[in-house]
Amino acid sequence: MIGSGRVRTAGASVERAARERGGPLAPWLVLLRPRVAVLVLLSAFVGGQLAAGPAADLLLVVEAALWVTLTAAAASVFNQVLERETDALMPRTAGRPLVTGALRTRDAILFGALLGAVGVAALALRFNTTSALLALAALCLYALVYTPLKRVSTLNTVIGAVPGAMPPLLAATAVGGAPGTWGWLLFAVIFTWQFPHFMAIAWLYREQYARAGMKMLPALPGSEGMAGRMALAYSLVLLPVSLVPATQGHAGPVYALGALALGLVYAAASAAFAHRESRRRARLLLFVSLVYLPLVFSIVLLDPVVALSHGLATP
């Protein structure tokens, strides 16, 4: 493997610890990135539920969300296959199984292909070809465009945000036959939300990204302050974007107040990071970003206007 002996040793220690906690399945779980998969599953479920309408079949919505999550997991596996050499250069990723040798590259490729094939085929056979083709396009965009672009241009963040925002749109298309209003609204929220989230991570690990040759904005020479300014700009854009469902009558005051409050907290954390970039403020922004998304999704489903119009509650 490429990388210093010290990094490889640290990575091996991390991997051993993971295997001791999770047994032989732990390396495979690392490939799936469980925390990301949970967010994908949640966002896909919400998109599918809102597309299903009053006659929603909960099991069918869950099924659609699971197939979407499988395709996202496949993208994660291929990402780690393609980045195994650069992962070895960064302590934050040096413990991944393809770096330490806990899993063979060939096995990971087969695993990713199986996940992607099952997810896309199930969407086509159980739902519709449109959702399957969109899922396949998102998978290819993430693995074949976004991943290699990280070594070429800072535009990788914009490209990567597209497949990152696709889960609710994919599930909505699977269940409803088309993305629908809510599919696009949730896509827009997640797309915009990702930028402050990405900037916090990229700034925290900017030195590692630079050493690995990744073209992340905070890792470039002379980019001091850019991560904070971009985080603030996108968090401010997110405020009106997240309020569109309420302003267009698709959601009520409960959602409007909740989205506004969460958006202001996200913007405040971004503003603090923009005012002075520091590890503490970057970590705070990262924490707020991880709390923001599941809370917004929960508020969508709990909003009385949404619940009544989509059969989630009785009048």
CB 149 within 8 A of CB 155: yes
pLDDT tens track for 162-191: 999 999 999 999 999 999 999 999 999 999
Residue range(s) defining the domain that contains residue 275: 181-315
Evaluate if residue 13 carries a pLDDT over 60: no
pLDDT category at 22 given cuts 50, 70, 90 is low
Residues of 42-80 as b/e, b for ≥16 C-beta within 10 angstroms?
A: bbbbbbbbbbbeeebeeeebebbbebbbbbbbbbbbbbb
In this predicted structure, what is the pLDDT of residue 21? 56
121: pLDDT confidence band, cut at 50, 70 and 90?
Answer: very high
Q: Which of 3, 165, 12, 30 is nearest to 85 (CA)?
A: 3
Q: Are residues 142 and 258 in the same domain?
A: no
Q: Are residues 206 and 253 in the same domain?
A: yes
Residues 55 and 160 in one domain: yes
Task: Answer yes or no: do 258 and 115 share one domain.
Answer: no
Task: Say what the pLDDT of residue 16 is.
Answer: 46
Coil/strand/helix, residue 4: coil
Give the pLDDT score at 7. Answer: 36
User: Residue range 101-114: average pLDDT?
Assistant: 95
pLDDT of residue 208: 92
Number of Cβ within 10 Å of residue 287's Cβ equals 12
Per-chain mean pLDDT for the chain: 89
Same domain, 121 and 236: no
- Work out the pLDDT band at 10, boundaries 50, 70, 90: very low
Predicted pLDDT of residue 25: 82
Identify whether residues 190 and 157 lie together within a single domain.
Answer: no
Using DSSP's 3-state secondary structure scheme, residue 121 falls into helix
In this structure, are 146 and 270 located in the same domain? no
Given pLDDT bands bounded at 50, 70 and 90, which one contains residue 2? very low
* Helix (H), strand (E) at residue 47: helix 34-52
Mean pLDDT of 251-273: 97
Same domain, 168 and 110: yes
Sequence-ordered list of residues with C-beta below 8 angstroms from that of 107, at least 6 positions apart, any chain: none
Q: Are 115 and 228 part of one and the same domain?
A: no
The confidence score (pLDDT) of residue 5 equals 37
- Predicted TM-score (pTM) of the model is 0.88
The number of domains in the chain is 2
Look at residues 133, 155, 178 and tell me which one is the last residue of a structural domain.
178
pLDDT given for residue 217 in this prediction: 85
